[in-house]
Structures are given as structure tokens and as C-alpha cells.
Amino acid sequence: MLRSSLASLTLLTLCGCAIAPAPAPAAPITLTATAADGVTVYGTASFAALPDSAPLIVLFHQGGSNARAEYEPLVPWLNENGFRTIAWDLRVGGDIYGLNNRTADARLPVKPSSYCEGFPDMHAALDTSLEHTASNEAIIWGSSYSGALVFHLAAEAPDKISRVISASPANGPPMVDCLPQARLDELQTPAFVLSPRMEMKADEDFENKARFEAAGVAFMIVEDGIHGSSMLVDERTEADMSAARAAVIDWLSADPS
């Protein structure tokens, strides 16, 4: 923790030495990737003062949203825990949580007809993200529809992905062509699903939990959570989510074997 300015001034007076200010965190960087069909995908990198040897988390958002705004409260927490981040706006999204989705806006008036259409953006985002790490792999983190698609990405690019986090992986009719369970048999990467208690009501919800766990996926039911990655944000849940956040860091820090 940084000393207060008063404490710093007192120390300077006593020892007569100059105290160098702590380096300011690096400003967010805008990145672009190009999907296989030519769509430009926009990302925001937040590396803080972390070296490129630090683990990298690639963040994807929920439907109607954008990664900058959805993860804005979580990125400083991840940086403080030693993780570099790149948050990517996929073509299926909007302005939930305040900011605009740059990837979707750049395509207007064209709009996607399916959540599954965001998948090529994720492939491109992952490849571009790997250019910004000393490692040849990254952690991928999805929310809602992208929380389903991260399992497809992990199945198709296992050599590029070290871990998978999925918050509220979508299972409804709009995801029928890209359900997460469709790729669980191919999963080679450690994975962690977070689901808020409010979304665990029907028998089907617990059957899906059992499918994930049978595939070796860790599954946590989050009390007081809301849909998507925002279940970790106190201001959005109006509850103390520190225990859930700590569980995520513990899982990310644990030996994957």
C-alpha cells in the first residue's frame, strides 16, 4: 500500500533523501484483430506495470454488452493480482454497462442474426492477444453467450489456452447451434464455471452442472450473484462478492494438475 503524502513528507524530512514516486499504471491500449470473414474486432489491453511474462487473461462479454464496460470494475482487481488483461468487443453486443461496442458499431447497419456469430471474433482476438505475452498461451474468460463459446474455443485451440473461466454459460434456444456441452468431450484445458444461485432453479440447471462436472469442470454456485461476469462486482450485485472473487483467484493460482 502506498504511504500517505504526509508520511512520505515526514520521511523525506527525517532522512533528507528523495523518494521516487510509484510508477503510474500504464494507460489502456486499444488493439484490433481481424476475424476470418474480415470483421475488425476491437480490444482494450490493460497491462498495468506487469511484465509480459505475467499471465494474460482474454476477456469476452455477454450479449448486449461490451467488454470495456462489463469488465471495467474487474480489470484493476485482476491487474492487482498479477494478471494482464485484454477485453474484446465481439460483434454480438451493445451498450449495456455504459460504453459502446466498437466492433458491433463498426458493422452497422449489419447486425448478427445469432449469438454463435461472435465465435470468429474470439478466434481472432485470441491470436492477436498471444502477440502480447511472452507465453504461447492465455487464459480465456467468457460471460453468458461468450461463456458458452469459450468451450468451443478451448476445444479448437487447446495449445493456445491454459485455463477457461465461464460465467453463466448460456444454454437457451438462441445457443442451440453452439451449446457449451457440445464440446465438453473435447475439453483438454482446466475450466471453471461460475453460476449465480438465482440461475440454479430448475432440474435442467443441475443436470447441466452435472455434465460440466462429469467433464472435469469445476463448478461454483455463487450466492447473491447476478447474470454473467458482473456476479463478481459488488456494485452490480449490491452484495459483498469478495468470497467469490477470492475463489476465482485461488483457482487461477492453483496447480492445474
For residue 210, being part of any structural domain is answered with yes
61, pLDDT greater than 60: yes
CB distance 134 to 54 below 8 Å: no
What pLDDT score was predicted for residue 25? Answer: 55
Give me the CATH number covering residue 81: 3.40.50.1820
Question: Please, how many CA atoms are within 13 Å of residue 48, restricted to the half-sphere of its CB?
Answer: 17
Tell whether pTM > 0.85: yes
Please give the torsion angle defined by the CA atoms of residues 98, 57, 32 and 151, in that order, rounded to the nearest 10 degrees.
-90
The angle subtended at Cα 112 by Cα 130 and Cα 163, nearest 5°, is 30
CB distance 226 to 96 below 8 Å: no
Distance (Å, rounded) from C-alpha 165 to C-alpha 57?
A: 10
For residue 11, being part of any structural domain is answered with no
Average pLDDT over every residue of 223-250? 97
Range of the domain at 240: 24-253
For residue 233, being part of any structural domain is answered with yes
For residue 104, being part of any structural domain is answered with yes
For residue 143, being part of any structural domain is answered with yes
pLDDT digits over 161-184, tens only?
A: 999 999 999 988 889 999 999 999
For residue 8, being part of any structural domain is answered with no
For residue 45, being part of any structural domain is answered with yes
pLDDT digits over 112-124, tens only?
A: 989 999 999 999 9
Distance (Å, rounded) from C-alpha 193 to C-alpha 216?
A: 11
For residue 54, being part of any structural domain is answered with yes
pLDDT digits over 217-233, tens only?
A: 999 999 999 999 999 99
Q: What domain count does the chain have?
A: 1
Chain centroid, CA 9 distance in Å: 40
